[in-house]
C-alpha cells in the first residue's frame, strides 16, 4: 500500500473519531468518495492500526444506527420550511 493512502486512512479515522462524523461528512471534508472513506476505515486501516480502526468503526456503527432518525428530522425540517413559503 502506498504511503499517502496509509496516511489518509489514519487522518480519516482520526477525523471521524474527533468529530463524531458520518461517512458523508468525512468524504466531503477530504474530497474523496464515500466508498473510499468506508474502504479506508474498514479494510486498509485494519492492516495499519487495528485499534484506531475499531474506534472509528464504533462511531460509524452508531451513526448508521441513527441515520433513519436524522433522515426523518431532515424531511420534517424541509416540509416546515415548505409550508412557511
Structural domain of residue 65, as residue ranges?
3-84
d(CA 82, CA 46): 45
d(CA 70, CA 9): 26
CB 28 within 8 A of CB 16: no
In sequence order, what DSSP letters do the residues of 2-20 get, joined into one string? -HHHHHHHHHHHHHHHHHT
d(CA 20, CA 42): 16
How many structural domains compose the chain?
1
Instruction: Going residue by residue through the chain, which has 85 residues, state the pLDDT in tens, using 9 for 90 and above.
Output: 688 899 999 999 999 999 999 899 999 999 999 999 999 998 999 999 999 999 999 998 888 777 666 777 778 888 888 766 5
| pTM recorded for the entire structure | 0.74
Amino acid at each position: 500500500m502506498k504511503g499517502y493512502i496509509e496516511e489518509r486512512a489514519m487522518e480519516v479515522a482520526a477525523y471521524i473519531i474527533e468529530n463524531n462524523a458520518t461517512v458523508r461528512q468525512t468524504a466531503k471534508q477530504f474530497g474523496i468518495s464515500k466508498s473510499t472513506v468506508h474502504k479506508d476505515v474498514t479494510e486498509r486501516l485494519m492492516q495499519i492500526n487495528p485499534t484506531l480502526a475499531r474506534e472509528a468503526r464504533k462511531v460509524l456503527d452508531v451513526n448508521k444506527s441513527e441515520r433513519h432518525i436524522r433522515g426523518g428530522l431532515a424531511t420534517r425540517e424541509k416540509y416546515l420550511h415548505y409550508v412557511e413559503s
